[in-house]
Amino acid sequence: MSLIEITDVRKSFGDNEVLKGIDLDVEPGEVIAIIGKSGSGKSTLLRCINGLETISDGSISVGGAQLLDDEAHLKALRLKVGMIFQQFNLFPHLTVGGNVMLSQMVVKKTPKPAAEAMARKMLERVGLDHKFDAYPDELSGGQQQRVAIARALAMQPIALLCDEITSALDPELVAEVLAVVRELAAEGMTLLMVTHEMKFARDVCSRVVFMHQGRVHEIGPPEEVFANPRTPELKQFLGVH
């Protein structure tokens, strides 16, 4: 059984169907890049996998448990699957350590000492244990995004979804965030990432998914998808002719 099984998933907003039957199975430890034009449904797909959106049809199972559209299941799913966004969304009035401890304590009811120990461990993993007592506005954007990664990891997710996590960063800060992701991948974390970093996708990902108009238009290993795009849509997206 795959870690994540997405079967004929459809999602509509009103009469606008934005996911038109997505099939995708993700194996443990896979790193998948999701690419495609703006509006092709990439974020919606990740939000469905994380239970932030209900699906209109089809099924999603994570870690062997089928996702049902009731609030208890969606909540359980949000606990199992971590998500990181373009905007870091750290609480400005909390320290870095406080940010990484908060959802552990509130959502998982982890006792404070254990939450703090986990926060220190995960901050060390992203190279920021020395910033435990700093406030977010004292950090660079790259450091803030690394804190957001530590915060997601502290919930011990079985997979991590990343939605354009370097898109809001100044170019010189992108590499440090990608280095953290690369390390997570090497450690065996299952990752689904919407990204514009094609070189990164080529180097790190096991498969690339090209989405077009709410469908998986092409899928394959990066050397295939990038070197031999089959459809005119992907050729156009990659700028090859």
**CA 96 – CA 129 distance, rounded (Å):** 9
Quote the least distance from Cβ 19 to ligand ADP, whole Å: 8
Minimum CB distance to Mg ion smaller for 19 or for 115: 19
The interface partner of residue 144, options being ligand ADP, Mg ion, none and the CB cut-off 5 to 8 Å by kind, is none
Question: 141-153 vs 112-125: helix axis angle to the nearest 10?
Answer: 130
43 near Mg ion, judged by CB under 5 A: yes
Q: How many CB atoms within 10 Å of residue 59? A: 13
Nearest residue relative to Mg ion (C-beta): 43
Q: Are 238 and 217 in contact (CB under 8 A)?
A: no
Minimum CB–partner distance for residue 40 and ligand ADP (Å):
4
Which residue ranges make up the site for ligand ADP (CB under 6 A)?
Answer: 13, 18, 36, 38-44
Closer to ligand ADP at the Cβ: 7 or 86?
Answer: 86
3-state secondary structure of 171: helix
Q: Which two tokens stand for residue 145?
A: 């995004």
**Shortest distance, CB of residue 201 to ligand ADP, whole angstroms?**
15
> Of 47, 40, 45, 38, whose CA–CA distance to 22 is shortest?
45
Question: In this complex, which beta carbon is closest to ligand ADP, that of residue 110 or of residue 166?
Answer: 166
In the complex with ligand ADP, which residue's Cβ is closer, 14 or 64?
14
